[in-house]
Structures are given as C-alpha cells and as structure tokens.
Amino acid sequence: MSSNALAPSSISNSSLKVAMQATLVAFGVALIALSAKVQVPFWPVPVTLQTLAIMGLAAAYGLRLGLATITSYLAVGFMGVPVFAGPVAGFGYFAGPTAGYLAGFVIAVAIVGYIADCVSSKNIFALLGATLVATLLIYALGAYWLGFVFVGSSGNLLGFEGAWKYGVQPFILADIVKAVLASLAVPAISGLMKK
C-alpha cells in the first residue's frame, strides 16, 4: 500500500530512502523524548507534550514509519535510556503507573498513521478524528492500567474513580488542544513543502 502521509510520500523516490527513514525515526525518537521532558509535574501521571509529538509524528509519518518510531522510542527506554517523563527508564518503568499510556501510544500511532496513509495529508478533519479516537484509546489503556493493574505505594488499586481523577480528567482539555494542533500542523507543513 502506498502512503499519502507526508514523510513517506516525500522520500518515496529517493535513492537514500533507507537512510532517510532511519534519520526520520531517530528524529522522531528524539522529539518524543524531548516532549516527555517538557512537563507539568502531576501525580501519578505527569502532563507532558508527548501526545502532541506522537500524534503529529504519526500524522506525518504514516503507519509503518510511525510504528517504527514509537517502537524504537519504547525500546530505547526499555534499554535504560531516560527518554520517558520520569527520571528513570528500563524494565521497571514498564511496570509503573504510566505503562498503560505507553501501550496506548503504539495503538494511537497505528490509528493515526493508518488514516494518514489513506487520506490526503491536507485532510484536517480525518486527521483530527483519528487523533481524537487515538487519544480516547490512550486514556482507556492508561486508565485501565492505572486503576486496575498498577498497585501504588499504598498497596491498593485506584479503581475507576481514582483512574478517572488522576489519569484522565486532568488531561482532557490539554489533549483536545494537542490533537487539534497535531491535526493542523501536518497539513500546514505539507502546504509549505509544496510551495
């Protein structure tokens, strides 16, 4: 399947396609890591710019390049490089309160990347719909993990109310704004590139 996403369609005829793809993945990993460090401290899940970066990259990169980027990001973090919102990384981070959100990132990239491959990179409404659905799935996985799997320092589960209060409700408005920004950025960049 050929991709309509901005990045793959821009490099599809390049003789350096593999090198350009690797560069884009490395850039994406660095961008997501940087966006994780720009945060408002909040317990147990900090407010970061990660979803903006992830949705924007997925919309620009499409399914394959987007998944290569997010899985590379998670792999680097799993190996211990501190790319996540917290100061630590490694295996333990994948058992912490944000693990469900990390899993949600992969599904979000798949959804937004797939839509980006199927529609014009200038289709703001399709991208916005995809980013909003992807955000809901990040919330669902993140809140499920936070409320019903993760056992905090108190030794108790947060349950539905706690997961909603700490893992979803504080982020809704900011994540809607980030979804809109990601959906507007890619068509704007596409338009600039074609001038």
Q: Is residue 106 part of a domain?
A: yes
Q: What is the band of 87 on the pLDDT scale with cuts at 50, 70, 90?
A: confident
Q: Report if residue 105 sits inside a domain.
A: yes
Please give the residue range of the domain that contains residue 75: 6-193
Q: What is the per-residue pLDDT for 111?
A: 97
Specify if 89 maps to a domain. yes
Q: What is the mean pLDDT of residues 159-172?
A: 89
Average pLDDT of the residues of the chain: 88
Q: Does some domain include residue 68?
A: yes
How far CA 192 is from CA of 79, 121, 125, 145, 186, in Å, comes to 37, 12, 19, 41, 10
Determine, yes or no, domain membership for 43.
yes
What does the buried/exposed string (b/e) look like for 18-38 if buried means 16 or more CB atoms within 10 Å of the residue's CB? eebbeebbeebbebbbebbbe
Q: What is the pLDDT of residue 14?
A: 66
Q: End-to-end CA distance of the chain: give it in Å, rounded.
A: 26
Residue 57 belongs to domain with CATH number: 1.10.1760.20
Region 105-126: mean pLDDT is: 92
CB 182 within 8 Å of CB 56:
yes
How many angstroms separate the CA atoms of 103 and 108, rounded?
9
Checking if the pLDDT of 43 tops 70, the result is no
Give the per-residue pLDDT at 46.
72
Question: What pLDDT is recorded for position 179?
Answer: 93
In whole angstroms, give the CA distance from residue 163 to residue 135.
16
Report the amino acid identity of residue 116: A
Average pLDDT over residues 58-87: 94
Is the confidence at residue 195, as pLDDT, over 70?
no
Q: What's the average model confidence in pLDDT over 15-31?
A: 91
Would you say residue 1 lies in a domain? no
Number of domains in the chain: 1
For residues 131 and 109, what is the distance between their CA atoms, to the nearest angstrom?
9
Query: Dihedral of CA 129/130/135/141: which sign?
Result: positive
pLDDT attached to residue 63 = 96
